[in-house]
Structure 1
Amino acid sequence: MNKKFYFLTAICLFLAGFSAQAQGQLKFEKETHDFGTIAEGVQASYEFVVKNVGDKPLVISHVQPSCGCTTPDWTKDPIMPGKTGVIKAMYNSTGRPGPFHKSISITSNAATPHAVIFIKGEVGPQDLKTSYTPEQKANSPRLAVGTTSHSFGKLEKGQKAVAKFTIKNTGRQDLVVQGVKANCNCVTYKVSQPSLKPGQQATLELTYVPSMLKEQNEVVTIVSNDIVMPDLKLTLKATVVESLAQKNMLREGNQPTPFR
């Protein structure tokens, strides 16, 4: 009887230990990203790639930056064993000159439920310029875009709209889009591939949320490590109107009148 009891106890302990080990586990490609020196006004962003090296699905439940100047986004779906997800950190450098070093805390159902990653860099003047030799310019990454403007047509005030641009690296070194600048602070961005090797293409998405009425021409500066043209400019055009839903509710006489 005692032998049987000890045998069953050993099996339970083994299964409990196995169950404890069968969990997701976060592993980052790198835990700190250095933006280097960026011009003030740039919204610099970087995607940390994280892999689930455990043997159970991993869910990132919360991402908390150390300050309001950093906006996070992350993979919300479960990350299966052996697969990867991303944690995107965007740093708004407007009004924040000087060096910065920020932490981002991650909470998940991993075996180690809490992890911390970091972004750092230095914010220089808005008209930041550096001198380069002809050889350095010849070997630079080069940011090329098929078209430099996009017209949304008619948009409601506060409506979110996305413009897609095809970009290409025509230079000799890897190209990295480091951020965007817009006077309205109403544009955010996403790149389908954060780093482009020479000859590679990617899709740049600009998300625009208009806050002013009438005709708008928002100039968006794309900041990259292209030293020849580090601040390529794109234009977003729209005719911004009040809510169309409110207009549709107007009546003339006894009959509803659609928006015209």
Structure 2
Amino acid sequence: MKNRASLLFALVLMLFCFSAQAQGVMTFEKEQHDFGNVPEGTMATHEFKFKNTGNQPIIIATVQASCGCTTPDWTKTPVLPGKTGMVKAVYSSAGRPGVFNKTVTVTSNAATPSTTLTIKGTVLGPEEIKASLTPAQKAMAPRLVLDRTAHDFGKMEAGQQPSARFTVKNTGKQDLLLGMITSPCNCVGYKKAPQPIKPGQSAVVEILYAQRQIGQMTDVATLNSNAVEGPAKLTIKANVVRDLNAASMVKESATAVPFK
């Protein structure tokens, strides 16, 4: 009886030890990334890759950035033992010149439940970027060429958000990364976030215009990127009216109509 009790105790102890050791282990390739110099207005993006070196699936519960300027993303499905996952950190550099050092905290069911990742760099304006590049770097840099720099929507109704398509070509030798669009009216933006443009390739970028003021409007928007030339300017024009149907009715009422 005593031997049976000892054997049972040993089995329980073994099961406890096994369950304690049965966990996923999140092993990152690196836990810190230095972007170096970042052109102001671009979205600095880095993927932290990890491997599950444990013996149980890893599920990421949350990823919390230290500030609103950093937008995280991560692998949403369970990462099985031996498989890889990622945590993406995106830093918005628009209007944030200078040095930055931000963290992203990953919470999961891994053996180490919380891991802190760090991104850092220095946001430079267009002139600072140019001054920091060597002739060889300038020769290898991406270059942005627009098919046109202006668009006139003609007559549009206030509250509408018409779109215009621009073709962007990268004539440089590195990937062209389009950053945020800024404008004094805060009424110009992307319809869909643009993807990196490979050297020698072109892409169609769709721009939304949300001008609510009434009248003949002309707005200049700045298209930020990592191009060596710096930001590009887009001129957007429109004749904004309160109601297109009402305007048509007024116009027709002013026209002489013969009696029938």
How does the TM-score come out when normalised to structure 2?
Answer: 0.62
The corresponding residue for 2:119 is 119
Q: How does 1:56-205 map to 2 (within 5 A)?
A: 56-125=56-125, 127-131=127-131, 132-138=133-139, 140=140, 142=142, 175=175, 177=177, 179-183=179-183, 184=186
What is residue 23 of structure 2 aligned with on the other side? 23
Distance of 1:213 and 1:2 partners within structure 2: 86
Q: Quick one: which amino acid aligns to residue 118 of structure 2?
A: F
1:52 aligns with 2:52: yes
Tell me how far 1:122 sits from its aligned partner: 1.6
Residue identity opposite 1:16 in structure 2: F
Q: Is the 8 A contact 1:98 1:123 kept in 2?
A: yes
Q: 1:98 to 1:133 in 2, by over 3 A?
A: closer
CA distance in structure 2 between the aligned counterparts of 1:175 and 1:133, rounded to whole angstroms: 18
Aligned residues: percent identity?
Answer: 42
TM-superposition CA deviations, 1:87-126 (whole Å, max 9, x none): 2222223333321111111110111100000111122335
Q: Name the SS of the counterpart of 1:33 in structure 2.
A: strand
**1:9 equivalent in structure 2:** 9
Q: Which amino acid aligns with 1:113?
A: P
**Structure 1's 4 and 142: CA in aligned 2 closer, same or farther, altered over 3 A?**
same
SS of residue matched to 1:38 = strand
- In the alignment, structure 1 segments of 5+ residues that lack a partner are 160-164, 237-260
- Number of residue-to-residue matches in the alignment: 231
**Among 200, 222, 225, which residue is 1:223 paired with?**
225
The 2-side partners of 1:145 and 1:112 are apart by 48
User: Is the 8 Å Cα contact of residues 146 and 167 (structure 1) preserved in structure 2?
Assistant: yes
**Contact 1:24–1:81 at 8 Å: present in 2 too?**
yes
1:233 CA drift (Å): 8.1
Q: Structure 2 CA distance, aligned partners of 1:81 and 1:107?
A: 18
> Residue 169 of structure 1: CA displacement?
8.5
Larger Rg: 2
CA contact (8 A) 1:47 1:89 kept: yes
**Aligned-pair distance for 1:213?**
5.7
Q: Is the 8 A contact 1:31 1:118 kept in 2?
A: yes
Contact 1:190/1:206 (CA < 8 Å) preserved in 2? no
Q: 1:118 to 1:10 in 2, by over 3 A?
A: same
- The offset of 1:36, in angstroms, is 1.6
Q: Which runs of 5+ in 2 are unaligned?
A: 154-158, 237-260
Say if 1:45 and 1:179, in contact at 8 Å, map to a contact too. Answer: no
Counterpart amino acid of 1:74? W
Letter in 2 for 1:92: S
Q: What TM-score, normalized to structure 1?
A: 0.62
Please give the per-residue CA displacement for 1:218-258, whole angstroms capped at 9, x wherever unaligned: 9674634x65x56578999xxxxxxxxxxxxxxxxxxxxxx
Q: Structure 2 vs 1, CA of residues 187 and 133 (structure 1 numbering), >3 Å: closer, same or farther? A: same
